[in-house]
Structure 1
Amino acid sequence: MLKKILTGIVVVVLIILAFRYCEFKKDEETVIDETALIQQEIKNVGKLVVTEGHFSEVLTYKNNKKYFLNMLSAEKKAIVVVNAEATVSYDLSKIQYNIDETTKTITIKNIPKEEIKINPELKFYDVEQNGFNEFSGDDYNKISKTVKQNLARKIEKSSLKTNAQNRLLSELSKILILTNTMGWTLQYNGQPVSNENVNDLL
């Protein structure tokens, strides 16, 4: 009789252990599946986000050279019409992150900075010059540098960077939505990211 009781107890213990082992394996497989899904979502987000804008401006370029103890001068000038295509982009394939399966936490370690590219097209009108002071490659370089500086200031004041940042946040929010749905935590700079503070990612 005692033998049967002991045998029964052993069987029950084995059943409980087997059940708990299956539960553990199930949880482990779920975490692995979730990790793979998160990694895939980050991979999907990891693309080049580009926002384009068009800018125009007109400037007058003048240069004056003095000769013979400043008694003679030679001036050159031109009206420059600028049409430029500008882009603000984020290469999200460069996002650095860490996944902790134990705490179900995704830590974004680094978000790439925006890259601003300006491609100006210059057209010259009413060009005036003489043999003592002609347009040279140095003049075109100075004009191009001035144009890019002016356009960079315009971009800062325009909605182009804001639109690019909004697109960036839209992509990063996909990761936040997925992690929230699965009960994971997304954090950046040591702080959890939520819908309320998602702008802090920038």
Structure 2
Amino acid sequence: MATRRNQSTETQIKNVLVPIIQAFGRSGKLIYLIVIGIVIFFAYQYFTRSSASSTIEYNSTLIEKQLKNVSKLVVTEGHYSQVMTYKDQKKYFMDMVSFEKKALMVVNADVTVSYDLSKIKYDINETTKTISIKNIPEAEMKINPDIHFYSIDESTFNPFGTADYNKINKKVKAEIAKKMEKSKLKTNAENRLISELSKILILTNTMGWKLEYNGETVLTSTGLSKKIKT
């Protein structure tokens, strides 16, 4: 009888303790999972904020570097050759007597059209992720003529002098500049300029930024070309 009572008592204790232990075990696991969840949440928030800040700074650095890479002298070279004639006439005695001088010459000239992109003006806005190009420097044309005189016809009363040679040099440069404005050299120089600036456009598009020129958003290289050439 005593043995049966002991077994019955043990059974009652187990019936009471086992649910308590199981409940404590379940609540312990629940608390453990909640704590882990809170730790993961705050860790995610911390590293996400840190990463976003670093990304903005990294993006700005990349863009600044690209702008410095294109901030160079873009030069397009060409050659010009033409036969030219220079004439000058002096008149005396109410234009009744005149003395003429003239020269036949061959002009060979090396011409360069360049853009100094270190002079480009721009702003970087990290908040709106925008690069705004404010101003692009004008093209600079340099002409180095080599003039060969094949025939010089002058008069004692109207000889060639330093003033004439300076006038010829000035006239030659003006003539060449006029022709170069309508030539492929100027167009090629503009195309090279657009090619350099397109590197910035590609970078901004890749990084989720946008490029503006004179207050207008530029989406493609074609759009950039139209804005520069207008």
TM-score, length-scaled by structure 2: 0.79
**What is residue 19 of structure 1 aligned with on the other side?**
44
1:199 is matched with which residue?
A: 225
The ranges of structure 1 where at least 4 consecutive aligned residues each deviate by more than 6 angstroms after the TM superposition are 8-11
1:164 and 2:175 matched = no
Q: Does 1:147 align with 2:175?
A: no
The offset of 1:176, in angstroms, is 0.7
What runs of 5+ residues in structure 2 fail to find an aligned partner?
Answer: 1-23
152-161 or 140-149: bigger deviation: 140-149
Q: Deviations over 1:31-76 (max 9, x none)?
A: 1111101111111111110001111111211222223454433221
Q: How does 1:111-126 map to 2 (within 5 A)?
A: 111-126=136-151
**Which consecutive unaligned segments of at least 5 residues does structure 1 have?**
none
Match of 1:43 among 68, 90, 93: 68
Distance 1:123 1:16 in 2: 83
Correspondence list, 1:1-202, <5 A: 16-195=41-220, 196-202=222-228
- Sort the Cα spacing of 1:182 and 1:70 in 2 relative to 1 into closer, same or farther, 3 A: closer
Partner of 1:197: helix, strand, or coil?
Answer: helix
> Counterpart of 1:72 in structure 2: which amino acid?
V
Question: Equivalent residue of 1:88, what SS?
Answer: strand
Q: For residue 56 of structure 1, give the secondary structure of its aligned residue in structure 2.
A: strand
By relative contact order (CA 8 Å, sep 6+), the higher-ranking structure is 1
Provide the aligned C-alpha RMSD in A: 2.3
Pick closer, same or farther for the CA change 1:97–1:70 going to 2, 3 Å.
closer
More helix by share: 2
Q: Percent of aligned pairs with the same residue?
A: 56
Structure number with bigger Rg: 2
Q: What is the aligned length? A: 200
Aligned to 2:10: none
**Structure 1, 63-72 or 146-155: larger mean CA deviation:** 63-72
**Secondary structure in structure 1 of the residue aligned to 2:127:** coil
Deviation at 1:200, TM superposition (A): 3.4
TM-score for the superposition, normalised by structure 1: 0.89
